[in-house]
Amino acid sequence: MMYAAFSRFGKCEAAKAGIARRLPIEKCSLCNACDRVVARTIYSPISTPEYDTSAMDGFALSAESTQLASPASPAVFEVTATTTAGDIPQSTVGDVRDGIPPAVEIMTGAPFPLGDGDVLDCCVPVEDVLVSENKSSNRRYISVSKPARRHQHRRFAGGDFSKGDTILKAGEVIQPQHIMALASVGLTEVPVVRKPRVAVFSTGSELISTSQSHPFMIHDVNGPYLTTMLRKWDVDAKLCGVVRDDQEAMERSIRNAVDEHDIVITSGAVSAGRCDIIPSLIKRIGGRTVFHKAAVKPGHPILFAVLPGKGGETAFFGLPGNPVAAAACLRFFVFKYIERLQGREREEPQTAILQTSHCPSQNGAKMAFKKEADIFRPAILSQEQVTIIADHSPGKTKPFLYANCWVHVPGGVDELGEGSEVKVYPL
């Protein structure tokens, strides 16, 4: 099956097609990095926290000195210093004065005292102590009325990230939680893959444009949809408008786009009708067709080629004109190519349980498929159960409105029923 081969598009297939190059790497500030593809594996340059810190507002003191503490006989400590988050830690806590052991007032995130030989080993929260002050001597004391545990409320150095821990693997898409982790280890920028530059054309003299319209023309659906979906995939997509069914006009538009883009996409004009001029146009431009038509439904007429340009060859996808067919080909052909171009980790589908009993047209019966092709159907996924939308006409947009995923029925499968396991991809 052509889809199965293309979905595993790797180094060998790319080299054969003459499009094995990867996109260049660029630096991106952390605040602008979300949804970008990280180019290299990123390791933590430091351990976090870099030193032992307090998890509470309270007092650093010796837990051992509280073991006999009770409300009737509290343990008393003298407060010898105060440390807040961001302060240089106290290097000494002083000696015992008047037989009273020392304590350091410490705020959340503040470093524990240094050079104490781990004597001040825990933090007692401020709400668990009674604070008093000798105004004549300007000395402060705290009373602790219950035993403290050794190392309580103490965050140890390296307790979060250790130096060398992996934060992001090359090919991962950066998410907000990654930004949090990267910022926590002091990184302000990350190496990312440059966004693919994609030109999107809609073809067809029947489409309404700014220059021409009459009551029998139709609205361009594919251009806005394809461009929007590409942008959601971290692609720099440009909607280049409608091109009429005219060889010279179409050739001029595509030639102008090739040198400035990594991929050129058209929708329509790839089948076998009088106005389907894309296949012959590829030859006219001097392009090389890798495949035309694939064993998939919807989207059988899809064409994939490479076009000559100043910087080498540029990928070209000719998608079908029906909106849902174009959407399916974008999702399962164009995205697979972009996945390879960006060096992304290969996408793995979710397994879901098929429901047919809630589908009026099926009424619990088995669903039949043509097993010669890979089938992609819009569907509705709820938790781990999925319902395939009954009206799957590739020319209708209303049924597609309610979909939130695609169900992939591999070639060779001719029927599915209630409870069948299927592979599901996000829309």
59-75 pLDDT per residue, tens:
999 999 999 999 999 99
CA dihedral 69, 71, 77, 79 (to 10 degrees): 140
Cβ neighbours, 10 Å, residue 297:
20
DSSP type of residue 136: T
State the pLDDT at residue 212: 64
Where the chain has pLDDT below 70, the residues are: 1-21, 92-95, 116-117, 209-214, 273-275, 357-364
Cβ neighbours, 10 Å, residue 54:
25
Q: Which two tokens stand for residue 319?
A: 């998608």
Instruction: Report CA 174 to chain centroid distance, whole Å.
Output: 5
Distance separating alpha carbons of residues 338 and 54, to the nearest angstrom: 47
pTM of the model: 0.82
Phi, then psi, of 14 in degrees rounded to 5: -65, -40
Q: Which two tokens stand for residue 137?
A: 């001597």
State the pLDDT at residue 364: 55
Phi, then psi, of 324 in degrees rounded to 5: -70, -35
